[in-house]
Every structure is written in structure tokens, then in C-alpha cells.
Structure 1
């Protein structure tokens, strides 16, 4: 399998304020990570083994995937099959506004499941993706988007405050907040333990158990999200890397591609080329 057979097409839709992307012929494993946004996706072809928040799933064609912000997950191919996948990345403010419009209530939605096998909702998701790719009218795109979210919010969500999620120990919550506030700095494990006055061993094991990722991976995920925001604002990749806390440019590029499938420059092109919605793929 060569990389020329793999294709990654990503579109940013300024009307909806979301990203739509398609992965085709993918053999890449995706390491343990999380997103700051909601992710709604489905398997078009191939099979994948998914780990998400301590549970495991065997995925195949027609399965719907729902990730809340910070739902840690990773996946790998099954039986050497190539992955074909479509998905939407929805920022939290966009989701909150849409949820209020749909339900008439102000709340932060929480998906109650991560996988829905053989879901008919995938048809609605494909409609949104196709409307974005074909640059349909704003009316058509918004209608498709709201029909999709209405189904999901009705069948597979609850208000965040009513969700019985994982409880974070106060020391772990404080550590998460510290990492979020100081991500651009050269943070050490010693520095983290000094903040909470507990041992390194306790922090490493408890943090990983409660959040699903290690402290370092949590920090790198935050840095990645911050770097993406900077790239979207046309900040040069080398400057985005430094401002997000990556001290080595080559490491940043490798890390970015491992998690997104794109180089920083390819990702930036989606948002900056000619000031229009564009696509990027690995065959460039």
C-alpha cells in the first residue's frame, strides 16, 4: 500500500462554521488522543477496531461514531482492510447554538453513546457532507445540518449537566486546568506534582485512569488544537509550532500528521487558499 492510494479530503464551510472530511484507502493507525470539538462520523467502507473511553468496538460499514469534546479514542485497521470514513468536526459554540435553536433550551449536549451500529442517521450525515462538498446554497446546507443534529440530539444525547460522566479528582481537574493555561511553556512532571503536592507516580496513574490519556499526551493534544487555531488564522507553521509549545519543527510536523493525516501546511491551505473554502489531500 502506498501513500498515493490514500486520500484525505477536508473542507471548511464558513456558512456552518464546521469542517467536513473524507478519508479513503487509509491504513494509518490513529494514536490515543481527543478533540476539543464534537465529531460525528460514519464508516463508508472497511473495518476498524476502536478504543474509546475504556470501551472497545469493532466497526464496519454503516456504523455511526459520536465523540464528545475530550472523549479520548484511538483506532487501528482490522484484517488489513482499508478505511473509508466521512465525518464532521463541530465546534462547541456551534453545537450549543444549534441545540438551542432545535430544542428551545440553552444547554451543552453530551452524546450518550460513542457508537451506533448500522444507524440510519448516516444518511443524514452524508447529506450534510455532500451539501458542503458541492457548495450547495446556505439554505440547503443549514437544513441538512439541522435535520442531522435533530436526530442525534433526540436519540443519543442528554444535557451535559445530567450526564453521569467520569468524575475527576480535584487534583486531576487542577492539573488539566494548569496544562490548559500553560501549554506553551516547557512544563515538567516535577512542576505538575509541585502544583498538587502529590507524587509523580500517583499523578501519572490517576490522571491516565480518569482522563483516558497520560498527562503528556493530554498536553500535546491541547498544543495540537492550539496550533490548528493558529494555522487557521494564517500564522506560518513554524511560528504556530513555537507559539503552541512545540520546540522542534520536525517533531511538530510528524505529530501533526500522525493525528490529522495532513501536514501543517496542507491543513492551513484549507482555510487560507484564495480566502475560499478549499480541499487538501495527501496526493499534493
Structure 2
């Protein structure tokens, strides 16, 4: 198994990030959308408790909050990915459908040569730093095809039976930078420890602690994108020390915090005409 440093590029015009990794990832989730592609190799993906055998040419689709892990199985993986923030996805979906609503991918793994070709061409342009408008066309064409193949509206708010878990999540989203205890989460949810752990695993696919760590990583990413030094980002997001933060961030993002911060150096916000 190879766990090499990744490559990453931020495209200010498209407002998304492109990555290339040769590595596996432990169980985690994102607060953004991911469109990935297996350029080479084989892997075993577990997403939303469903197992997939990944092969060359497969597209991988994650909605925000989809819990997943990936390990190599056989030939080493060459994974290409696009990370699309929610606000960017809202704008893209509105342009394609006329509806300003977040979509949801109904499938996590897809084999479609046409979409794969569009993805590879777009990813190469972004990684090379192209600013030609052809990459905007390719992004819209790719997303349009994916939505036709496996898109559906985002689910309605959680029913009453899931409200306890959502209360615990809301508490962590407000207090991720502080010390959070399991007892406090149980109090917020109104459940015992064992009941909360079972409910959390069922609804979110991860434990409360892993959910909190993912929240902290997500917030740290935003701070690093704004140029905040890694040590300060670690402190502001509740990590016990910078070493813990660096190890955790590198494990889940594929880049060290300092290297991730560098890809946003000189980042400019594009103007948008309505």
C-alpha cells in the first residue's frame, strides 16, 4: 500500500479543489461534495454500509455527510478527485436546473465512459492551471450527466425518530472548538451512552467522536484556506496539540496542514454577475 503525499490545486474561477492521491483512507466524511475517478488500480470502498470493488475507470460520488473508507486491493490506486463546496454546488445546480436546491447522488460508484472522459479532461485542465472557459463547460456537462444518471433531490429533514442524534450533532457544530464530553452529548440528545452510540452509528455511519473530529477537520480546512497558520487553526478547532492536529489532518485530507494552506496562497474571490 502506498501513502504518498498528494497533489492539490484550488481553482478560484470554478470555486473547487482538485486532488490526486496514491493512498487509502480511513473511515471519514466530508461537508462538501466529492466527484472522484479511479485512474488506475483497484480498491475496496465502503460507503453508507455498502461495499464496492473499485476498478480503473470507476467514478465515485459522495454527498456531504456520506461516511466512507477506501483501501487498496491488488494494484495500487491512482485516485483523482474534485471537492465541490455546497455553495458552489448550489450555483451549478441552479444554472443547470433552474432550482436552487442541493442535489443528492443516489449511487456512490458509477461506471460511465462519457462522464469519465469529461472528468479526466476537466481534472487535467485544473491540475495544469488552465484558465480557459472550456473547463467551465466541461464541469457543467459532467455535472449535468451525473444528475441525469443518478441525481435526486436532497432528502427532507430528519423525522422525529432521528431528532436525538441531530440535537447531538447540532451541539457539536456549535462547540467543536471546546472540550466536548460524551455525557454532555447524551444530555443534549436525551439518550443513554449505549443508546446514543447505537443511534449515531445507524444515522451517521460513524461514532460521535469521529463525527466531532471530522467537524474539526472541516473547520480547520476553512481556516487554512483563509491563511490562518496551522498552529492557530489547531487551537481554534479544539485539537489538543498541533502534533495531533497534523497527524489527523494528514491522515484524512492527504496533505499536511501547511501544504494544504499553500494551495490557497494568493486565492482571489471571483466576481459573479446575476
For normalisation by structure 2, the TM-score amounts to 0.92
Indicate conservation of the 8 Å contact 1:168/1:210, yes or no.
Answer: no
Shift in Å at residue 8 of structure 1?
A: 1.6
Which whole-Å CA distance do the structure 2 matches of 1:2 and 1:204 have between them?
A: 33
Instruction: List gaps (5 residues or longer) in structure 2.
Output: 269-274
| Separation (CA, whole Å) in 2 of partners of 1:66 and 1:98 | 16
The match for 1:133 among 110, 116, 127 is: 127
Question: Within 2, Cα distance between the matches of 1:166 and 1:148?
Answer: 33
2 CA distance for matches of 1:259 and 1:137? Answer: 29
Q: Which residue of 1 aligns with 2:13?
A: 15
**1:15/1:138 contact within 8 Å kept:** no
Confirm or deny: 8 A CA contact 2:8 2:127 kept in the other structure.
Answer: no
1:152 aligns with 2:152: no
- Deviation per CA, 1:203-228: give whole Å up to 9, x if none: 01111121100000000000000001
Q: 1:276 to 1:182 in 2, by over 3 A?
A: closer
For residues 177 and 133 of structure 1, do their structure 2 counterparts lie closer, same or farther at Cα, with a shift above 3 Å needed? same
Matched pairs, number: 268
Q: TM-score, normalised by structure 1?
A: 0.89
In structure 2, relative to structure 1, the CA distance for the partners of 1:271 and 1:167 (3 Å cut) is farther
Q: Say which of 61, 65, 68 aligns to 1:66.
A: 61
Asked if 1:226 is matched to 2:219, the reply is yes
State the partner residue of 2:89: 95
Q: Which runs of 5+ in 1 are unaligned?
A: 278-284
SS in 2 for 1:120: helix
**Residues 167-176 or 142-151, more deviating:** 167-176
Is the CA contact (8 Å cut-off) linking 1:39 and 1:66 kept in structure 2?
Answer: yes
The residue number in structure 1 matching 2:271 is none
CA contact (8 A) 2:5 2:254 kept: no
Q: Which has the higher contact order (CA 8 A, sep 6+)?
A: 1
Give the structure 2 partner of residue 41 of structure 1. 36
Tell me by how many angstroms 1:157 deviates.
Answer: 0.3
How far apart, in 2, do the equivalents of 1:253 and 1:65 lie? 27
Query: Secondary structure, in 3 states, of the residue corresponding to 1:169?
Result: helix
Matched, 1:268 2:248: no
SS at match of 1:204: helix
Instruction: Please say if residues 5 and 255 of structure 2, whose CA atoms lie closer than 8 Å, have aligned partners that are also in contact.
Output: no
Provide the rounded CA distance (Å) in 2 between the counterparts of 1:258 and 1:47: 20
